[in-house]
Structure 1
């Protein structure tokens, strides 16, 4: 009643409290109620485990007896392209000005500045974690900041207690990075190993020229059939092979923001290779919410069903849209967009043109058109609505706001908007 977070309750009890007027709905994502009467405030120690990442966030809240919340959030992608489009429009707008005052003193980047795309993902982590802490009495937060310890790889010297842990811990740390970087797949482009569960090994790329260093750039993942002593010889595949290792963008992102996350949240941290040991010991499959459960210190607690979210744009500011023409492809008889049957021309000065596909254009089904958005409507895509006693998800408004396309399953339907009741608006998270 005072706005303080309490322990979770069951669906049946929450329904009774809402029905009797003893609680009100506070939020839908996740579904949270607020009591309207004074009650006891007994709480348990809850530990929040966060599997931070570039594409997904795994979340698990664990008590001494059970797991009270489990979720996996898929972050919004394409922020870089949207920033480029915004910069393009801003440049065009400024070029139309007759005179613009020179501004050179405001081009200094502040300390701790992050690129806009990275800042967006960093803010998303902070927002979702703080939002969960506002509805659950979490006493401790642990976040996985990387799959490996970069400082351990660069400076493998050990001291103190690390001597008692043996050499395998340091090797597993480096090996985990190489496997994770190579997506746990054999990097031989001509690999003939068809086994679903390949035995993977770490190969020294410069072994043939006596470069046995354990730096990540000299290590690559191979299966046991490609990594054999015979293939190390002069006539073998590995002799003289100069494989190029790829960069790892998600790990670069975590290297940039990991300590910022720890400082902002003032929480404890762990590494991915430690999480993997725990997950294997519990015989759990590889998922983000299972990793978060292990990060939170979960062992034999009763698990709960995870909730899957997708991060969505809260507002689409694009005012103009282009719809391509639809044409019948004479080769297949199917309807395709006009852009797919292009002329093949790429550049004017270089002979890089491809095949001219215009000759396969058949009957034009619909013309291409430009559409200008003139107004905004109250119901937006992914909002939850009610029609004829059933729950639907909104797809989009049609006929200048008169009709709404909704879906409850696989086949969408179109209904008059005045007969539809809005239950709640999806803001930044939508349930999958």
Structure 2
């Protein structure tokens, strides 16, 4: 069961407690709700508090989603788990839109905006904003969790498992490139690129074979761009046939394979570009850091018979992983980065011309867009209780976005605050109710 964070009257972290214990403290008036996400209670004067337990924060960085887990190394209890969803793709889209609007403005008879890229120089170690946002998200939540729990160490997945370097530490050059590691890395690359399923029939959960798109008999090479994955049946059926002949009756599959074969693995490139910068940022936090590999994470997860999810991968990072992880009933908190809005005074259409009135005030009667609130509507067609993110208007008619959709036109008097806007949205993720028996690694 996911635990509840506890802080004392001086806002110092104490030992997290079971949700049932937290409910009892709140019912008896010995504690109050301090934060909703992640749920935290603050003890009132005179309420007893357990001493803080040393915990380890484990991080599994990803391109789109990063797994977080707070683990007690002594007992193996996963105290808290979260899946942090990044907004790198949205940032790229917004910057592309802004660039188009500014360039279009220079071609019209409007206020001239001179280009500034000619007198700008990127400093060493520069990262694009879409990648930098991933680093900021992780560092932000490391600092937040430190204020809620007694974190004494950090474990982070840094690199993949390098079999060739471990078997032959002195190997280098051509031998390194063409040795055991080449086949291992190639297969892992193909598994991620083709989503671990047969490229021809789409079967999953079956043994997959590395297959040449252009057969070797027809001059095909061993380049990664010419390799794909196929089940045994499709591999035998294709044989030395040309791809266009083999998929003559499936033109949509042929088109997809030809496009996907040339596409790079963007997610892996994003993780590789940010991992060392993230490591340096975490070192600045001041906690000892343990770096693990992807191979170690997978080994720990498989030996403990756990499914593959972002938060369970995080719990299995590093050599410090306890022999038995207590993950029953843990429901990860889904944290999605949403940003803090934009500084554009008006919305624009696809050609960059204003298409709306100037923006109104940021706050309306104490609410601002992005706040998480509860709306209790007592009359009318929209009668009911709604919880979600608020969109404010100067007229006092708000919208609220819930799991079931968006409810428009609710009066401000129906709303009450739950959580102030902090650039993230929150939801309860799928937990792990009945884990199989874990066998400790041998």
TM-score, structure 1 length as denominator? Answer: 0.70
| Greater displacement, 284-293 / 295-304 | 295-304
Give 1:261's match in structure 2, choosing from 261, 271, 278: 278
Query: Which residue in the other structure is 1:374 paired with?
Result: 360
The aligned residue for residue 51 of structure 1 is: 60
Q: Secondary structure at 1:268's aligned position in 2?
A: strand
Q: Is the 8 A contact 2:31 2:41 kept in 1?
A: yes
Q: Is the CA contact 1:54–1:254 (under 8 Å) kept in the aligned structure 2?
A: yes
Residue 20 of structure 2: aligned partner: 12
**Structure-2 residue corresponding to 1:311:** 337
SS of residue matched to 2:40: strand
Question: 2:314 aligns to what?
Answer: 292
CA distance in 1, matches of 2:331, 2:322: 15
Structure (1 or 2) with the larger CA radius of gyration: 1
Output the CA distance in 1 between the equivalents of 2:24 and 2:377. 24
Name 1:332's counterpart in structure 2. Answer: none
Q: Which moved more, 1:405-414 or 1:256-265?
A: 405-414
> Is the contact made by 1:262 and 1:268 (CA closer than 8 Å) also made in structure 2?
no
Assess, with a 3 A threshold, how the Cα gap between structure 1 residues 413 and 256 changes in structure 2: closer, same or farther.
closer
Aligned-pair CA distance for 1:234: 9.3
How far does residue 74 in structure 1 lie from its aligned partner after superposition? 1.7
Unaligned runs of 5+ in 2: 1-7, 171-178, 247-253, 284-288, 379-384, 428-442
- By how many angstroms is 1:109 displaced? 1.8
**1:405 is matched with which residue?**
399
Aligned length: 371
Alignment equivalent of 2:189, drawn from 160, 177, 182: 177
Q: Out of 130-139 and 200-209, give the one that drifted further.
A: 200-209
Pairing partner for 1:67 from 58, 61, 78 = 78
Whether contact under 8 Å (1:385, 1:421) holds in the other structure is yes
User: 1:320 maps to which residue?
Assistant: 346
Q: Please list every run of 5 or more consecutive structure 1 residues that lacks an aligned counterpart in the other structure.
A: 161-166, 325-368
Residues 103-136 of structure 1 show CA distances to partners (whole Å, capped at 9, x for unaligned) of: 97x6222221111221122211221222223322
Q: Which SS does the other structure have where 1:427 is aligned? A: coil
Q: Distance in 2 between matches of 1:211 and 1:94?
A: 49
CA distance in structure 1 between the partners assigned to 2:414 and 2:244 by the alignment: 73
Report the counterpart of residue 200 of structure 1 in structure 2.
208
Q: Report the 3-state secondary structure (helix = DSSP H, G, I; strand = E; otherwise coil) of the residue aligned with 1:320.
A: coil
1:306 deviates by 1.6
1:422 is aligned to 417
Would the alpha carbon gap of residues 88 and 429 (structure 1) be closer, same or farther in structure 2, given more than 3 Å must change?
Answer: same
CA deviation after TM superposition for structure 1 residue 139, in Å: 2.2
1:113 and 2:126 aligned: yes
Q: Is the 8 A contact 2:60 2:317 kept in 1?
A: yes
- Separation of aligned partners in 1, 2:188 and 2:116: 51
Does residue 85 (structure 1) correspond to residue 113 (structure 2)? The answer is no
Per-residue Cα deviation, 1:333-361 (whole angstroms, up to 9, x for no partner): xxxxxxxxxxxxxxxxxxxxxxxxxxxxx
Against the structure 1 CA distance between its residues 248 and 233, is the aligned structure 2 distance closer, same or farther, given a 3 Å change threshold? closer
**How much has 1:159 moved relative to structure 2?**
2.8
CA distance in 2, matches of 1:410, 1:103: 44
Change (3 A) 1:216 1:318: same
Say whether the 8 Å CA contact 1:145–1:254 is kept in structure 2. Answer: no
1:260-291 deviation digits (Å, cap 9, x = unpaired) = 11222132222333322332333333221221
| Structure 1 partner of 2:436 | none
What is the Cα deviation at residue 252 of structure 1?
A: 0.7
Once residues 233 and 288 of structure 1 are traced to their aligned partners in structure 2, the CA distance between those partners, rounded to angstroms, is 40
CA contact (8 A) 2:65 2:310 kept: yes
